[in-house]
Structures are given as structure tokens and as C-alpha cells.
Structure 1
Amino acid sequence: MGCFDEIKSRNFSLYGQWLGIASIILLIALGIVGLQSHIVFSIVGWVIAFILLMVEIPLCLKVCPTSPKFDGFIAYFENCYFRAVMYLIFAVVMFLSRLMNTGPLIAAAVCLLLAAISYGAAAVMGQSFASSRILGGTGVDNVV
């Protein structure tokens, strides 16, 4: 199954995963740009990006050596409800950066909010969690 088949599947958890990947890229890039204006939110953005990297890309857990305790923590987020809450919390943290006038991180906050909405929609609609096959996940073929 390719990228276009995943888009056509109308599985909102896949949309949330791709928005999460976009959030990771924005958090890293805009954290570098905003490093001069406010170092605290840039570092917080990088920490969030690292957490999302481990949660969203299953291939990272297969390649990187991790402890069973960390794997258990990541497995806790195989539920769309928990992912929606996690992304909503991260979005609120990044929106708080706007109060400190660190402008570029607002784009990452909006992307995090859209990912939270996507995961929330998947949870409300009762869709099973699926991860993109391109990123080392199961794809929607195995979702019942």
C-alpha cells in the first residue's frame, strides 16, 4: 500500500501521524530559528520533537536500542485518545510560547493542534489505530 492508498483510506489516525511528522520537522526547524529570541521554548520544542519522533515513527523503536520500560511507555500511546490528548497538551505548550512573543513556533503549535484534532476524530469515529507503512508501521491493511 502506497502513500496515496493511505490517503484514500480515510483513516484519521494516518492523517494525524503525517501531521505529527510535519510537527516534528517544524519544531526542529523553527526551534533553530527561534533560538535567539527565546531559548527555553526552543529547547522545549526539541524535547517535544524527540518524544514525537519515538512515538510516531515505529522504525525508530526497531533501530534504536531502548529499554523495555521505555517501550512500554511508548506502547501506551497506541490508542488514538491518548495521542489526541498528548498532541493537545503539546499544542497548548507551544501556544504559550506566543505569550512570550516567540513568533515562529506558532506554526508548530497549529500543526500539533491539527494532529490532535485528527487523532480525536479517529477516536470518536471508532477507527482503529494505524501507522503508515512508509514509516515502518502496519499500514491500514491490518486494521480491522
Structure 2
Amino acid sequence: MNMRAKNTRETITRASALPFAETYKPCDTDQLEKFIDRLITSGHGWSDEITDFLTISNGFFYNGIYVYSLGSDETPDFMDMITANLQWDIADRLPGCVMFGRSDEEVYVYNQPENKFQILDLTGWDEYYAFDTMNELLEFVISERI
């Protein structure tokens, strides 16, 4: 299956058709703004692309790939973005970044100071890959698992 998509909505639509993929109802806009403010004021970065993703599907799971939700009662607690960022102390460990997902021993991070989406090693925090957009990162990781 070719995952090349023009935008996040198309990527999520295609990915949701994969066997065992899970998408969720969109994040409530008011709730989303509160969570974004909370993350930013605690030293995390943010991207409008993450906002766009969450307004389409508040989280995503496929074949070991997790894109975190914000304040969802549909997803398990370990898929919550705020919980994950606090647990891994991302604001101190990676200033200006926000961890928005993971798979196996990799984490997905938006690095606001460098304006890039990264796949980092979970233990050494070394960069494996960098992308200009969240959509490119998602296409890459999903295509690897099809």
C-alpha cells in the first residue's frame, strides 16, 4: 500500500483502513487549546500540524506505532501526550520539544527550536531520522510496518 499522501487528513484516512489500525474521535477544540497552553507554558514546543492531527483523530495506533492523544477517554493512559511528556521529563531533557508518539524503542518528537519532526532513540535520545513535516514522519513509520 502506497502511503504517499498530500496532507495529514489523507494519511489518517488511508492508515485507518489498514487491518487493526485504530483512530479515534477528534479532540474537543476547547479542551485542545487548554492542553496546548499547558504544554507550552511548561516549556514544551508545539506545532500546528499536531493540532491538525488531533482535530482529525485524537490519537492513533497501528502495529506498535502510537501517536498520543490529549485528554481522551477513548485511549489508554499510556497514550496520553501530557503524561508521556511528564514521565520522560521532555521539557528538561529536550527543551522546546514535545513528544507526540512512539514505537518500540523510538520516540516521535517535534523539535520547535530546529523546526523539524524527529524519530529519536528512546534510550540515548540520538536522532535516527528528521522530517520537515509530521505527515512525512507518519508516512515513513506506517509504511515501514505495512
Higher RCO (C-alpha 8 Å, min separation 6): 1
Higher strand fraction: Structure 1 or Structure 2?
2
Q: Name the TM-score, length of structure 1 as normaliser.
A: 0.27
Q: Name the TM-score, length of structure 2 as normaliser.
A: 0.26
Work out which of the two has the higher radius of gyration on C-alpha atoms and give 1 or 2.
1
Higher helix fraction: Structure 1 or Structure 2?
1
